[in-house]
């Protein structure tokens, strides 16, 4: 499922991004696969603009949307993650996200999938639509999922502990360090961001580096297509 190695320079800077509550978005930048700084911005577009000339950007947010049924990418991710499968939402089809309130979106989702839409998933709407607009405008941007990245970092074994636990965070930081992504004790802008969001952004950056090198995995094996023609897939 990996890419063919292309002509991208090994030393190209990349960016991994995660949404981080009231802070907006946090980005971790890598150079030559090593930590090279953090960025925090209220809007995703502003963060990407501040990052400048990066070769690949991986964002922990659903980007491609299907017209009916669950996304094959989400089903494939859940199958790979085992005990961590609940970290993957089954993302509603595109028409549901075009509704203006939760009851209408939940009704539309049930029409198109046979299942409802949780309020937790609907709470993603502003960030999802913001990220999707950036994705449609910038081909450097790819969807990722940190738990898939951490599974790959651990040799195909999903993390045994949840990301908000002490052991889970220590495990994830250690996995990143073993791969050369050593997060310093002082991160600058990201110092005020919750630890799990920083770790997720760093895992996304690790995946962005793999995308830039042409060695990233992708699921599903045969991606669906978004209404705009782009592939609905998760890269890691």
* 14-66 per-position pLDDT tens digit: 999 999 999 999 999 999 999 999 999 999 999 999 999 999 999 999 999 99
**pLDDT at res. 2:** 52
Report if residue 77 sits inside a domain: no
In angstroms and rounded to an integer, the radius of gyration of the C-alpha atoms of the chain is: 17
Report if residue 72 sits inside a domain: no
Report if residue 132 sits inside a domain: no
**pLDDT at res. 8:** 35
Q: What is the largest CA-CA distance in the chain?
A: 48
Residues of the chain with pLDDT under 50: 1, 4-11
**pLDDT at res. 10:** 41
Q: Specify whether the CB–CB gap between 205 and 29 falls below 8 A.
A: yes
Report if residue 89 sits inside a domain: no
Side-chain half-sphere CA neighbours of 104 within 13 A = 6
Report if residue 51 sits inside a domain: yes
The domain containing residue 229 runs over which residues? 14-63+138-235
Report if residue 3 sits inside a domain: no
Report if residue 213 sits inside a domain: yes
Answering whether pTM is above 0.85, one says yes
The total domain count for the chain is 1
- Other C-beta atoms closer than 10 Å to the C-beta of 121 total 20
**pLDDT at res. 191:** 97
- Residue 106, burial from CB neighbour count under 10 angstroms (0-12, 13-18, 19+): buried
| Domain of residue 31, CATH code | 3.30.420
Report if residue 182 sits inside a domain: yes
């Amino acid at each position: 499922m990996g890419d063919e190695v292309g002509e991208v320079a090994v030393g190209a800077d990349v960016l991994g991004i995660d949404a981080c509550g009231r802070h907006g978005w946090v980005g971790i930048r890598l150079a030559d696969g090593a930590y090279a700084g953090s960025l925090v911005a209220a809007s995703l577009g502003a963060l990407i603009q501040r990052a400048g000339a990066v070769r690949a950007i991986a964002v922990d947010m659903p980007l491609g949307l299907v017209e009916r049924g669950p996304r094959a990418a989400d089903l494939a991710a859940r199958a790979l993650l085992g005990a961590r499968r609940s970290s993957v939402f089954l993302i509603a089809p595109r028409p549901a996200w075009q509704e203006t309130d939760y009851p209408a979106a939940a009704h539309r989702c049930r029409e198109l999938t046979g299942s409802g839409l949780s309020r937790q998933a609907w709470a993603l709407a502003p960030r999802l639509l913001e990220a999707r607009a950036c994705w449609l405008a910038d081909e450097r941007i790819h969807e990722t999922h940190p738990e898939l990245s951490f599974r790959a970092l651990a040799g195909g074994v999903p993390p045994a502990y949840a990301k908000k636990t002490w052991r889970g965070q220590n495990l994830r930081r250690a996995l990143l360090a073993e791969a050369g992504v050593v997060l310093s004790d002082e991160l600058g802008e990201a110092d005020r961001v919750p630890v799990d969001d920083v770790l997720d952004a760093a895992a996304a950056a690790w995946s962005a580096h793999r995308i830039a090198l042409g060695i990233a995995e992708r699921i599903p094996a045969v991606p669906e297509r978004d209404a705009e023609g782009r592939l609905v897939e998760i890269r890691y």
